[in-house]
Amino acid sequence: MSEIALREEIASHLWYHTMELAPGVVTPGWFDLRPVVDRMPWPDVRGKRCLDVGTYDGFLAFELERRGAAEIVAIDIDDHSKWDWPPDARARGGKGLAELAGPEKGRGFRIAAAALQSRVDRRPLSVYDLSPDALGTFDVVVCGSLLLHLRDPQRALEAIRTVTKESFLSSEQIHLSLSTIHRRQPILVMNGSGVRCQWITPTVAGHRRMIFAAGFAIERGTRPYSIPYGPGHRHTWKGRRLRRDFLERMLTGNVGVPHAAVLARPRV
C-alpha cells in the first residue's frame, strides 16, 4: 500500500488506538499507549501462543507480535448491539447505538494489519464466550482497558482463566484518588450509566482482588500510570484543571486515563 493510499484509509476511519503504521504515518486515535506500554509487566512472549482480549484496533496484539510471539489470536465483538450498554444508553435504540459505536467495527484492525503486514488472527468473539473448545488454550493472555466496559467483569475474567496456561497480563482503568487514599482496600466504584459504557472502576487493590477472585495468583503489579489521550480524543483537555493535572502527573507520571497493570498466573 502506498503512503498516500494508507493515509486515505486512515482518514476514513474513527480510531481508538494511536499507532504508527509506517514511518511518520500515525493513526489519530483516542488513546496513545506508546508512551506507557513498557511500564506494563510483560512476560516473555517469544515463541508463545498468545491471545489479545478486546483488541479493538489491535495495539496490544501487534505489540505481542513485535515482542516475538509465535502465534497471536485477537478477539472482539463486531456487533455493537451486543456490547454491554447501560440501560439509559440502550434506550436510544439501534440507530442511536450505531452513532455512539461509530462506523464499521474491526476496520481499523484490518487497515493496521495490512499496513504492518501482520500475522495476527482476528476473531469476532465475546470475552464471555471464551473457552478451550472455542479457541484452545494460550501461553499468554493480555487484556487492556476492557473490564470497566463489561456488566459482568468477573464472569469475563473467569472465562479468560479457562484459556490461560501460563500468564495473564491485565491493564485496567483504576480510580486514582481512592487508590491513593485506600491503598490496601479492594474498592469497586459502580457506574452503570451513560454513553461511555462504563460499569465498574476498581482501585489498584480492587483490580488485583478481581484477578485473584477469578482464580489467578498475582506475580507482580505496577504503580498507577496514565494512558495519554491521543490526537483524536473528542474531549482532549476540555474541562481539565491545573491542580488535577498536577496531582495526576505526581501520582502517575503523566496526564490521561489512570491505569494499573498486573501479571498473574493460573492459581486454581
Note the pLDDT tens digit of each residue in 143-186.
999 999 999 999 999 999 999 999 999 999 999 999 999 999 99
Asked whether residue 239 carries a pLDDT value surpassing 60, the answer given is no
| CA 196/CA 140 separation, integer angstroms | 29
pLDDT tens track for 17-64 = 999 999 999 999 999 999 999 999 999 999 999 999 999 999 999 999
pLDDT category at 66 given cuts 50, 70, 90 is very high
Is CATH 3.40.50.150 correct for 3-266?
Answer: yes
> Reduced to 3 states, what is the DSSP secondary structure of residue 36?
coil
Q: Could you tell me which residues come within 8 angstroms of residue 157 by beta carbon, excluding any fewer than 6 positions away?
A: 147, 170, 210, 211, 213, 214, 216
Q: In this predicted structure, what is the pLDDT of residue 92?
A: 84
Q: In this predicted structure, what is the pLDDT of residue 130?
A: 98
Asked whether residue 119 carries a pLDDT value surpassing 70, the answer given is yes
